Amino acid sequence: MENVKIVGCGYARASSKIENEALKKAVDTSDEWIQTRTGIASRYISETENTSDLAICAAQKAIQNAQINTSQISMIIVATCTPDNVTPSVACIVQEALGLNDKPVMAFDINAACSGFLFALQCAASMLQKGYALVIGAETLSKILDWSDRNTCVLFGDGAGAVLIQRAQDGSTMDFYARSKGDKEHALYCAGRSLQPDLENVAQDKPYLSMNGREVFRFAIQAMPDAIYGVLQGQPVEEMDLMIPHQANIRILEYVSKKMKFPMEKMFVNLDQFGNTSAASVPIALAQAWEEHKIKENMDLVLVGFGAGFTWAACKIHIEGGKHQ
Ligand code: ACO
- pLDDT confidence band for 196 (50 / 70 / 90): confident
Q: How far apart (Å, rounded) are the C-alpha atoms in residues 186 and 222? A: 19
Its sign, for the CA torsion 181, 182, 183, 189, is positive
In 3D, which of 184, 179, 237 has the Cα closest to residue 214? Answer: 184
Using the mean position of ligand 1's atoms as its centre, give its distance from the Cα of residue 230 in Å: 29
| 187 CA to centre of ligand 1 in angstroms | 13
Q: Is the pLDDT of residue 324 over 50?
A: no
Residue 140 φ then ψ, to 5°: -125, 75
Which of 246, 249, 315, 324 is an active site residue? 246
Q: Is the pLDDT of residue 203 over 60?
A: no
Residue 249 among the catalytic residues: no
pLDDT band at 194 (very low <50, low <70, confident <90, very high): confident
Are 170 and 63 a contacting pair, CB within 8 Å?
Answer: no
Determine the pLDDT at residue 207: 84
Helix axes 281-291, 51-66, angle to 10 degrees: 30
Count CB-CB contacts under 10 A for residue 215: 14
Q: Ligand 1, atom 31: nearest CA belongs to which residue? A: 37
Please confirm, yes or no, whether 190 is among the known catalytic residues.
no
Angle at 325 between CA 72 and CA 235, to 5 degrees: 95
Asked whether the whole model's pTM tops 0.85, one would answer yes
For 237-283, what is each residue's pLDDT tens digit? 999 999 999 999 999 999 999 999 999 999 999 999 999 999 999 99
Nearest by Cα to 213 from 121, 267, 151: 151
Which CATH number belongs to the domain containing residue 277 in this structure?
3.40.47.10
3-state secondary structure (DSSP) of residue 21: helix
Ligand 1 pocket test target in 219, 249, 310 with most atoms within 8 Å of CB: 249
Pocket lining for ligand 1, CB < 6 angstroms: 29, 33-34, 37-38, 113-114, 150-151, 154, 188, 211, 213-214, 216-217, 220, 248-249, 252, 276, 278, 307-308
Pocket test for ligand 1, best of 217, 254, 255 (most atoms within 8 A of CB): 217
Spatial contact of 187 and 211, defined as CB atoms under 8 Å apart: yes
Q: Identify the domain containing residue 218 by its residue range.
A: 1-325
Q: Name the domain count of the chain.
A: 1
Ligand 1 centroid to Cα of residue 151, in Å, is: 5
